[in-house]
């Protein structure tokens, strides 16, 4: 069946669809790793910010501010082209050479340097936002709650784990999910440093076939599937106290 | 009646201007307007000292204007604006490292080629000598360029990593992220000329493709094309073409590139 004229000439060839799916798989994998790293880092940063020590608070504040107030694109370029260039030449060449890493019986391929740079930049950037959201959640729990729990004889640790955290999680669940969906979309910027994710593959298909509409339409569709899938999965996770009514 | 007369006059006026020849227009105006790059050394760039656009393309354009006997006026342009400037009549010629392609030939006419280049590579000294060595290498290319596509189609075993522009690809090469980068030979020579650590790198001694650069002219201006071609052939005959080339690409320059094409060679 010939497609209508407004779709352009010809439809995507099978091997281009293959590229797009490979790109989508890389996007999903990168986003997953970034979400996990960002959550871990974000919790640590949020905890650091709630510390009594001024120097720790100041350090965390600086880190958060650096990542929240500068464009992600610039951070990506800084890590990939900038920081990498500062390393000694031997270290750079070793990092970029293909190795195999054996970990507990599993042989893993050494990731390409652009993947590592993307992972670092995206994780730090997302962690800053995750940290602020977790902080907002913790702050949203009324101080009276802590006072009451302490008066009942709970230790500060118990107060945090059993009183503050469950309530905070309920508050931050939705904004945090939004943050994770944002991570999936932000991975498209890593195209600038040569990570062959979904935007990159759509750009390649476009430049080789000149099927502009088709290439970007398929990319849009695949992004939509990824984000909707993540949304659905995220919607199933309920913190202990359940949805607020 | 009066209206009819005006209309007839108007019609006559438009038809004569349509018949007018661009070469006559240029002579009458006393100015040849040439679209040239202002930031693509050594083809066309703003010279820091003279604050004028200069370069290889400009030198060729100056000879054309001189032969017609008019003043040269340079219209600064970039890759995207070249054809629109010419088609809209804001420039008479394009002399801006303008590669001959069948697609472009639908919109503009081309003179004889006066420069040829091809897809070449920069790598660390001694790492790339033959095209066969490309297999298995990570090679940086510019996004959306013909070089990227050629490499992917003809060398499937090469891992192509695409960047937004050549300086970024070169940064990736210097960082060791890729083993080589690919672009047009003349562009690579210019890029390498400005690198602080250029001694570590070299242009690999082979060319994958051949591309020809020519003067772009408005469609259907046969007399203008003829004059431009005569000038170009004349430049080759009296040795001026070689002089211009050596001034920008000769052995003593910052970006030496051997001259392997002569005006009038079979394109």
Q: Tell me the per-residue pLDDT of A71-89, one tens digit each, with 9 for 90 and over.
A: 999 999 999 998 888 888 8
Is pLDDT of A105 > 80? no
Q: Say whether pLDDT at A243 is over 60.
A: no
If one compares B105 and A3, the residue with the highest pLDDT of the two is B105
Percent of the residues in chain B that have a pLDDT greater than 90, as a whole number: 63
Strands B180-184, B138-142: pairing kind: parallel
Query: At A182, which helix (H) or strand (E)?
Result: helix A165-186
Q: What is the pLDDT of residue A238?
A: 66
How high is the pLDDT of residue A84?
81
**pLDDT above 60: residue B18:** no
pLDDT number for residue B20: 64
Paired tokens of A89: 């030449």
Q: Is A78 on the interface with B (CB under 8 A)?
A: no
Q: For residues A168 and A176, give the distance between their C-alpha atoms in angstroms, rounded to a whole number.
A: 11
Mean pLDDT across B218-236: 95
The neighbouring-strand residues paired with B216 are: B94, B110
pLDDT at A204 over 50: yes
> Which of B176, B178, B49 minimizes the C-alpha distance to A194?
B178
**By the CB < 8 Å criterion, does B144 face chain A?**
yes
Decide: pTM greater than 0.80.
no
Structure tokens at B64: 């054309």
CA nearest to B248, candidates B14, B42, B76: B42
Residues 6+ apart with CB under 8 A from B232: B60, B111, B112, B114, B215, B241, B263, B264
Helix (H) or strand (E) holding B109: strand B109-117
Higher pLDDT, B70 or A161: B70
In this model, does residue A214 exceed pLDDT 80? Answer: yes
Find which of A76, A194, A209, A210 to mutate to test the B interface (most B CBs within 10 Å of its CB): A194
How many CB pairs (< 8 A) connect A and B?
Answer: 54
Structural tokens at position A159? 């107060």
pLDDT of residue A112: 83
Which structure tokens are listed for B247? Answer: 């001034």
Q: Which of A96, A200, A207 sits opposite B177 (nearest CB)?
A: A96
**Mean pLDDT for chain B overall:** 88
Average pLDDT of every residue of chain A: 87
**pLDDT at residue B13 tops 60:** no
ipTM of the predicted assembly exceeds 0.85:
no
Rounded Cα distance between A204 and A220, Å, is 15
Contact assessment for residue A83 and residue A76, using Cβ atoms and an 8 Å cutoff: no
Query: Which of A15, A16, A81 best probes binding to B when mutated, by most B CB atoms within 10 angstroms?
Result: A81
Q: Any CB–CB contact under 8 A between B237 and chain A?
A: no
Chain A residues whose CB is inside 8 A of the B137 CB are none
Q: Count Cα atoms within 13 angstroms, Cβ side, for B254.
A: 12
> How far is residue A122 from each of residues A72, A84, A179, B120, measured CA to CA in Å?
8, 16, 12, 34
In chain A the beta strands, taken as DSSP E runs, fall at: 100-103, 106-109
Minimal Cβ distance to A203: which of B138, B143, B172:
B143
Helix (H, G, I), strand (E, B) or coil at B198: helix
Q: Order of strands across the sheet with B44-46?
A: B39-40, B44-46, B53-54
Q: What is the pLDDT of residue B5?
A: 56
pLDDT attached to residue B11 = 52
Residue ranges in chain B assigned as alpha helix (H): 2-19, 22-29, 56-68, 82-87, 102-105, 146-154, 166-174, 185-193, 222-237, 240-249
Q: Are A43 and A168 in contact (CB under 8 A)?
A: no
Confidence tier at A25 by pLDDT (50, 70, 90): very high
CB contact under 8 Å between A207 and B164, yes or no, is: no
Is the pLDDT at B102 greater than 60? The verdict is: yes
Contact A22/B at CB under 8 A: no
CA-wise closest residue to A129 among A63, A81, A77, A222: A63
pLDDT for residue B15 is more than 50: no
A109, pLDDT greater than 90: no
| pLDDT value of residue A245 | 42
Q: Which residue of A has its CA nearest to B165?
A: A192
In the block, which residue shows the tokens 């004028």?
Answer: B52
Q: Which residues pair with B46 in a beta bridge?
A: B53
pLDDT digits (tens, 9 = 90+) for B194-209: 888 888 998 888 889 8
Task: Work out the average pLDDT over B29-57.
Answer: 92
Confidence (pLDDT) at B4: 61
Distances in Å between the Cα of B230 and the Cα atoms of A234, B63, B176, B221, B253 are 72, 11, 48, 14, 29
* HSE toward the beta carbon, residue B81, CA cutoff 13 A: 13
Q: What is d(CA B113, CA B235) in angstroms, rounded to the nearest whole number?
A: 12
How much is the pLDDT for A127?
96
**Both ends of chain B: CA-CA distance in Å?**
58
Tens digits of residue pLDDT in A30-53: 999 999 999 999 999 998 888 788
pLDDT at A244 over 60: no
Angstrom distance (rounded) from CA A41 to CA A179: 14
- pLDDT category of residue B35 using cuts at 50, 70 and 90: very high
Q: Read off φ and ψ for residue B143, nearest 5 degrees.
A: -60, 135
* Concatenated DSSP letters of B216-253: EE-TT-HHHHHHHHHHHHHHHHTTHHHHHHHHHHSTTS
Which residues of chain B does A85 touch, with a Cβ-Cβ cutoff of 8 Å?
A: 171, 174-175
Name the closest residue on chain B to residue A195, using Cα atoms.
B161
Residue in B closest to A77 by C-alpha: B168
**Cα-Cα end-to-end distance for chain A:** 52
pLDDT band of residue A102 (cuts 50, 70, 90) is: confident
- Distance (Å, rounded) from C-alpha A192 to C-alpha B165? 10
Quote the tokens at residue B259: 């001259």
| Residue A58 in this model has a pLDDT that exceeds 70 | yes
8-state DSSP, B99: B
CB-CB under 8 Å, A85 with B177: no
Buried-exposed string B76-85: b where 16+ CB fall within 10 A, e elsewhere: ebeeebbbeb
How high is the pLDDT of residue A1?
A: 46
Nearest to B203 by CA among B177, B175, B241, B173: B173
| Residue in chain B lying closest to A112 (CA) | B177
Q: How far is CA B40 from CA B96, B97, B174, in A?
A: 9, 9, 22
Torsion angles phi and psi, residue B8, rounded to 5: -60, -40
- Using a CB–CB cutoff of 8 Å, tell me whether B87 touches chain A: no
Nearest-by-CA chain B residue for A90: B176
Measured CA to CA, the distance from residue A30 to residue A45 in angstroms comes to 22
Non-local CB neighbours of B50 within 8 Å, separated by 6+ positions: none
Other CB atoms within 10 Å distance of the CB of residue B97: 22
Residue A6 has pLDDT above 60, yes or no: no
B174 interfacial to chain A (CB closer than 8 Å): yes
């Amino acid at each position: 069946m010939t497609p209508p004229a407004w779709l352009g000439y010809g439809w995507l060839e099978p091997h281009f669809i293959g590229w797009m799916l490979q790109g989508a798989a890389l996007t999903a994998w990168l986003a997953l790793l970034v979400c996990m790293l960002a959550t871990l880092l974000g919790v640590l940063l949020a905890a650091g910010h709630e510390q009594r020590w001024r120097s720790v608070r100041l350090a965390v504040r600086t880190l958060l501010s650096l990542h929240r107030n500068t464009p992600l694109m610039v951070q990506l370029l800084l890590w990939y082209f900038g920081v990498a260039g500062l390393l000694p030449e031997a270290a750079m060449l070793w990092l970029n050479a293909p190795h195999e890493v054996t970990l507990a019986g599993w042989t893993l391929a050494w990731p390409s340097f652009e993947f590592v740079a993307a992972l670092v930049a995206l994780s730090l950037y997302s962690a800053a936002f995750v940290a602020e959201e977790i902080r907002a959640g913790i702050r949203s729990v009324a101080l009276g709650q802590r006072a009451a729990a302490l008066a009942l004889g709970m230790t500060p640790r118990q107060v945090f784990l059993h009183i503050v955290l469950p309530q905070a999680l309920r508050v931050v669940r939705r904004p945090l999910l939004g943050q994770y969906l944002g991570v999936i979309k932000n991975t498209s910027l890593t195209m600038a440093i040569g990570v062959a994710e979904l935007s990159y593959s759509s750009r390649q298909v476009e430049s080789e076939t000149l099927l502009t509409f088709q290439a970007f339409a398929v990319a849009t569709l695949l992004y939509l599937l990824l984000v909707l899938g993540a949304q659905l999965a995220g919607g199933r996770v309920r913190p202990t106290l359940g949805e607020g009514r | 009646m009066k209206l009819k007369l005006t209309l007839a006059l108007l019609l006559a006026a438009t038809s004569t201007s349509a018949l007018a020849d661009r070469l006559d227009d240029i002579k009458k105006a006393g100015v040849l307007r040439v679209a040239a790059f202002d930031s693509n050394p050594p083809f066309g760039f703003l010279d820091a000292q003279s604050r004028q656009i200069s370069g290889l393309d400009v030198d060729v354009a100056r000879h054309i204007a001189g032969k017609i006997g008019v003043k040269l006026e340079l219209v600064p342009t970039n890759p995207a604006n070249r054809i629109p400037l010419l088609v809209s009549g804001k420039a008479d010629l394009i002399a801006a490292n303008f590669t001959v392609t069948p697609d472009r030939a639908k919109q503009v006419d081309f003179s004889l080629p006066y420069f040829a280049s091809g897809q070449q590579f920069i790598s660390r000294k001694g790492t790339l000598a033959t095209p066969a060595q490309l297999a298995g290498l990570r090679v940086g290319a510019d996004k959306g360029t013909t070089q990227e596509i050629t490499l992917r189609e003809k060398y499937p075993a090469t891992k192509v990593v695409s960047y937004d522009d050549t300086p970024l690809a070169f940064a990736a090469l210097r960082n060791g992220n890729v083993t080589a980068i690919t672009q047009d030979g003349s562009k690579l020579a210019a890029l390498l000329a400005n690198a602080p650590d250029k001694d570590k790198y070299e242009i690999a001694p082979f060319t994958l493709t051949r591309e020809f650069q020519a003067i772009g002219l408005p469609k259907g201006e046969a007399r203008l094309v003829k004059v431009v071609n005569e000038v170009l052939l004349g430049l080759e005959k009296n040795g001026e073409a070689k002089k211009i080339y050596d001034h920008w690409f000769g052995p003593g320059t910052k970006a030496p590139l051997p001259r392997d094409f002569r005006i009038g060679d079979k394109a």
